[in-house]
Structure 1
């Protein structure tokens, strides 16, 4: 369920990016530059989560009578949980930034960026 939720969160962020005026006028590079950290962290966090959950399910499926916790699994668990802190921070920051009205209407800031992009 967590992996599916992370995937849906990524889809929602992408849909919100596609609905901006900046995307609609073709300045996709600006959006990707600004939200690169979130997109990369989302992909990494989803990958770590899928690997961790698959590994845990595989170990528990093979031996249901014992609790198995290997060193590699513990390292992956710590990395995944540390990544989750960054993921949720950047996700929250991105959702707040996507509420900026300058992304949804024509503005002097956007015109200046558009002129710089054309040069």
Structure 2
């Protein structure tokens, strides 16, 4: 069972990773003259997104709802987060590869193609959705009803068995 002190630590780690992601999304363009620094920031950002997904999955596996076998109930509740997280990670990796491919050789020139601009916009839109759904999921995972037996869980279990 997830204790309050453990949940606070997990929440702090999640928010730190989200803050780093937001920081890189906001300020990475200022470092376009230093492609090596940008490469390191992008790699850490992609790893942070992956770690956030892993943390949410571990928290889902830790719930009583998962342990009694109501995985479909959890997937129904967190499907949007999982889909958006996968999409955001894919768009981020694609954007980072494209940016670094265009700017690695000529880092002193401003290179911005139409395709890169389109990918940039979609990645930033996915980032906003990712932040929203992730924050909502972390708040929902703090609900103590997910970690203990309760009447609504018994009702959901009875409906699932029918």
TM-score (norm 1): 0.97
Deviations 1:91-115 (A, max 9, x none): 0000000011110000000000000
Partner of 2:91: 48
Residue-pair matches, total: 119
Counterparts of 1:1-119 in structure 2, within 5 Å, are 1-119=44-162
1-side partners of 2:108 and 2:142: how far apart?
A: 50
**Which stretches in structure 1 are left out of the alignment for 5+ residues?**
none
CA RMSD for the aligned pairs?
0.8
1-side partners of 2:96 and 2:129: how far apart?
A: 19
1-side partners of 2:139 and 2:54: how far apart?
A: 17
2-side partners of 1:11 and 1:28: how far apart?
A: 16
Look up the SS of the partner of 1:79 in the other structure.
helix
**Which stretches in structure 2 are left out of the alignment for 5+ residues?**
1-43
Larger RCO of the pair (alpha carbons < 8 Å, separation 6+): 1
The offset of 1:61, in angstroms, is: 1.8
